[in-house]
Amino acid sequence: METLLSLQNVSDLWLMVKQMTDVLLVPAKDTLKSRTSVEIQMAFVRQALSFLENRYRNFTMGTVFGNLHQAQLGGVPGTYQLVRSFLNIKLPGPLPGMQDGEIEGQPVWAVIYYCLRCGDLNAAMQVVNRAQHQLGDFKSWFQEYMNSPDKRLSPTSENKLRLHYRRALRNSADPYKRAVYCLIGKCDVNDNHGEVADKTDDYLWLKLNQVCFDDDGSSSPQDRLTLPQLQKQLLEDYGMMLHPYFNPEHVSNQRCFIFSQREISVSDCNPLVALPDKHKIIFT
């Protein structure tokens, strides 16, 4: 059994490496400069998000098909029905504080969040369309977000969403609504959304969605997160999340690859040494 698990871990790691390196690279005299360009960094983040979303969708499918009676799977096959069935298992009863009603017995913002978590914006849009009269301006913001090549609202829309969030939602009791707004608006980056992002992969996925590459400096610090900032935070403030001493080796390696930190020194990959010193890290 242990051998089978080890083989599965190697297989999973290889699939992850294959996906994370499936980025078009062009010959360059300065390799480091090329790899740290905005275009390449954006491509790596897209690949990381795709990997995390595919893995979560597989987890969701496994959960649903392993609990078919409780899941009550039915309807037209697709992400929406998968998420609805998954929530029949994850949220079997009513939750306090949920806002803007329900869709087929589940909180509307929870359904939107998990459609996004599975990487299916069209499924999330399906939910938004069905509940649009309860969601105010969110539909127009979400349509703009979907149609943006870099998944970023225009500065005008982004400022409006952030203002609405600060005035009406920051202290909302609905954790899914807050998470979706912070994801779409790339705002309140210091909120870790532990109520919904309770696993490391969920946290990584949410934070990668909030990373900005074209920030002009006008955003307040609470609404600005760059990839180097996130890498630094993970390695220096949350080093245990990535370090092999506190994780199975294959898990630590996966997380390093997801954040494009492939040049962590050999000593930092040795589980017998201390957590990484910042001078040992090359952010790429």
Banded pLDDT at 6 (limits 50, 70, 90): low
Banded pLDDT at 265 (limits 50, 70, 90): very low
141-159 in b/e form (b: 16+ CB < 10 A) is: bbebbeeeeebbbeeebbb
Q: Contact 234/48 with Cβ under 8 angstroms?
A: no
pLDDT in tens, 168-214: 999 999 999 999 999 999 999 999 999 999 898 899 999 999 999 87
Coarse DSSP helix, strand, coil percentages of the chain, rounded to the nearest 5 percent: 60, 0, 35
Rg (CA), the chain: 20
Domain residue extents for the chain: 33-206, 226-284
| pTM check: above 0.75 | yes
CA distance 104 to 75: 12
Report, as an integer, the average pLDDT of 258-282: 40
